[in-house]
Amino acid sequence: MSLLPYNGLALDRASARRSDEAWLSSARRHPDARVLAFWRDGCLTRDGQPVTVSEEPHVFLGANGRAGVFAVDLSELDESTARTRTGADAVLDVRRLFPVVDAQEAATLAYARGMLHWHRNQRFCGACGGASVARQAGHQLECASCGRLLFPRIEPAVITLVTSPDGARCLLGRHRGAAPDAYSTLAGFVEIGESLEDAVRRELVEEVGVRVAAVRYQASQAWPFPAGLMLGFRAVAESEEVAVDQEELVAAHWFTREDLRALQATHRAAGTDRQDSIESHLLQTWLDEG
C-alpha cells in the first residue's frame, strides 16, 4: 500500500530531547534548521513554497539529522504585518499546498498546523481558567495556577466504505448543502464510551439505517485539520435497504464500480476531487478489487 497523504513523517520527533534546552538550542542554531511560520492555520509562503523565518519558535517539531525543524504562530500580528516581516507573499491552507509540495513537506506542514492550532485554542486551563504555559518544547501545556498538564488533543473519526452483501456495489451519501453529485463515504466522530467498531455501526444506523455484518479496519490517516485522526473501515451491509437520516444527508445510493469510476471522472473534470483524503484510498482499494 502506498503511503497515505500526511502519514509517514520522516522527522525524528526526538521526544526524549524535548526538555533538553542545550540540545534544542543547538538544533535551532544548526545551519539547516528551519522555522515554519503560520498565521491562523495558514502557512506563510513565498512563490507557493513555505518560508523559513528567524522568529523565536513556539513548537519543536522534530530533527532532521542534527538540524531542528520548528514552527511559529504569528496569528497575533495582522496578516499583512506577518507577511511583510517574514518575506511571504501569501498565507495558504496546507491542503492547498498538498499538490505542490513533496509528501514529507506536506506531512510536516500538517503536523505544524495541528500543533499550533492546539496552542492557539488551549491558552487557558479548562479546570481553573489559569493561563497555560508551554512545556516540553511545545508538546505539553501546564496551567500556571493549578499545575494541571494539558496534552495535544486528537479527535478520532471513523470513515467507512460500506459494500452490498454481494460486494458488487458500495454505499455513498450526499450531505445536506453539498453539490448535486458530491457523494462521499460515511464518516463521524467517535464518542466517549465507544470502540471504533461501535462507532462505525452506530454511524451507519443513524445516517443511512444500515446494519452491517463484518466491520474490518483498513487504514488510518493523520488529519490535523484541525485535530482529526481518520480511521478507515470496510463494512458489509446486511441488506441493501437504506433509510436516510434527513438531518445529515439528502440521499444515499448504491454505486457499482462502473458508476463510481464515472462519478470520479466527473469530479476530476470539475476539479472537485480530493486526492489527499483517506476516502480516495478506501474507494480506490475497492475499485482495484473488481
What are the E-state strand segments in the chain? Answer: 34-39, 42-46, 49-50, 59-64, 67-73, 90-93, 132-135, 140-143, 149-150, 155-163, 169-175, 183-184, 186-189, 212-223, 228-237, 249-256
134 touches Zn ion (CB under 5 A): no
To Zn ion, the closest distance from the beta carbon of 73 in angstroms equals: 22
250 touches Zn ion (CB under 5 A): no
143 touches Zn ion (CB under 5 A): yes
What residues from 103 to 132 belong to the interface with Zn ion (CB under 5 A)?
A: 125, 127-128, 130
Angle between helices 257-270 and 278-288 (to 10 degrees): 140
Angle CA 59–62–64, to nearest 5: 140
Sole binder of Zn ion in the list 10, 133, 134, 146 (CB under 5 A): 146
Among the listed ranges 70-78, 105-113, 139-147, 237-245, the one in contact with Zn ion (CB under 5 A) is: 139-147
Q: How many residues does the chain have?
A: 290
Beta partners for residue 92, in sequence order: 43
144 touches Zn ion (CB under 5 A): no
Cβ-based nearer residue to Zn ion, 75 or 140: 140
Cβ-based nearer residue to Zn ion, 141 or 171: 141
C-beta atoms surrounding 59 within 10 Å = 26
Cβ-based nearer residue to Zn ion, 127 or 262: 127
Site string for Zn ion, 192-231 (x = CB under 5 A): ----------------------------------------
Check: CB of residue 109 under 8 Å from CB of residue 36: yes
To Zn ion, the closest distance from the beta carbon of 226 in angstroms equals: 23
To Zn ion, the closest distance from the beta carbon of 144 in angstroms equals: 8
To Zn ion, the closest distance from the beta carbon of 130 in angstroms equals: 4
Please state, in angstroms and rounded to a whole number, the distance separating the CA atoms of residues 90 and 37: 11
Check: CB of residue 212 under 8 Å from CB of residue 236: yes
Site residues (vs Zn ion, CB under 5 A): 125, 127-128, 130, 143, 145-146, 148
